[in-house]
Amino acid sequence: MSVVDPRLSINQATIKYADLATALRVTADAGIEAIGLWREPVQEVGLATAAAMLTDSGLRFTTHCRAGFFTMPEGPARRSSIDDNRVAIDEAAALAAAGAPGSTAILVLVAGGLPEGSRDIVGARERVRDAIGELAPHAKAAGVTLAIEPLHPMFASDRCVVSTLGQALDIAADFEPEVVGATVDTFHIFWDPDVLPAIERAGREGRIATYQVCDWRTPLPADVLLSRHYPGDGVIDFASLTRAVEATGYDRDIEVEIFNADIWAADPAEVVRRTAEAFGAAVTPHLSGARTPTA
């Protein structure tokens, strides 16, 4: 196999059906240096055990996915969501501390969709801002960055009322950059005519918490959530987006996060190998140079 880019991180969603032990093993065995974890596999074994497993793997920890989902009006459901987000912050801090040097304590936030029966998308976004305001002090104390992830507009009703990087940055602007930033995910933002100025703004404001890549290809499946592809297998211009992110000074790990039923059904070791090859062909040529991990 060709040399693996040292900045590549496997987001665990790419190998969704692999348990934590398998995900860590196949990632390390492929020569990949970093991994982003999801809450469910971590909780399956318990946080302390997961942290020990991560330490033993020798991998850097790049993000914890995912928290958020707090667009509902005030009431027990919203209180429960806020409380669960605080738990997620603590998980992210513990895992970042357990990872290899260069690990980052980043919690990815997906805002949530429109509450049942609501058409007030503006109000829903305001409740996102309010929720982050409640969580920011806890995140700051824990040393965790909350990374607001804008999702493609096709998810605005059911999954995420924040659809553009600009909207995410407008919400983040109320908070310190090290506490609230943004997730730059190529799948969700490549279509936006303002994406390059938004990336420049994100860099200028110190808000790029993580850069995630995968590709977009049509026709979309019936479940559009599962429409992501390996970098290079679709229409996204990784050259312009990656160079724009690099131009901001972003020099940390880059995650590949894929939701795709066929990829999930494949052997996890083969998936990470294929991911490394795709990343090397589609993303690596547009990076400025090798990364030297720092604590």
CA atoms of 249 and 237, how far apart (whole Å): 20
Convert the pLDDT of each residue in 269-288 to its tens digit: 999 999 999 999 999 999 98
Convert the pLDDT of each residue in 196-255 to its tens digit: 999 999 999 999 999 999 999 999 999 999 999 999 999 999 999 999 999 999 999 999
Instruction: Please state the pTM of the whole predicted model.
Output: 0.96
- Do 8 and 30 touch, CB atoms closer than 8 A? no
User: Whats the size of the chain, residue-wise?
Assistant: 295
The reported pLDDT for the residue numbered 289 is 66
Residues of the chain short of pLDDT 70, as ranges, are 1, 289-295
Contacts of 205 (CB under 8 A, 6+ apart): 169, 172, 173, 177
Strand partners, 35: 10, 61
Burial class (CB in 10 A: 0-12, 13-18, 19+), 94: buried
Does the CA dihedral 284-289-292-295 come out positive or negative?
negative
The reported pLDDT for the residue numbered 86 is 98
DSSP string, the chain: -PPPPTTEEEEGGGGTTS-HHHHHHHHHHTT--EEEEEHHHHHHH-HHHHHHHHHHHT-EEEEEEEEE---SPSSHHHHHHHHHHHHHHHHHHHHHHHSPTT---EEEEE-B-PPTT---HHHHHHHHHHHHHHHHHHHHHHT-EEEE----GGGTTTTBS--SHHHHHHHHTTS-TTTEEEEEEHHHHTT-TTHHHHHHHHHHTT-EEEEEE-EE-SSPPSSGGG-EE-TTSSS--HHHHHHHHHHTT--S-EEE----HHHHHS-HHHHHHHHHHHHHHHTGGGS-S------
The reported pLDDT for the residue numbered 288 is 86
CA atoms of 80 and 54, how far apart (whole Å): 28
Q: Which of 134, 234, 150 is nearest to 192 (CA)?
A: 150
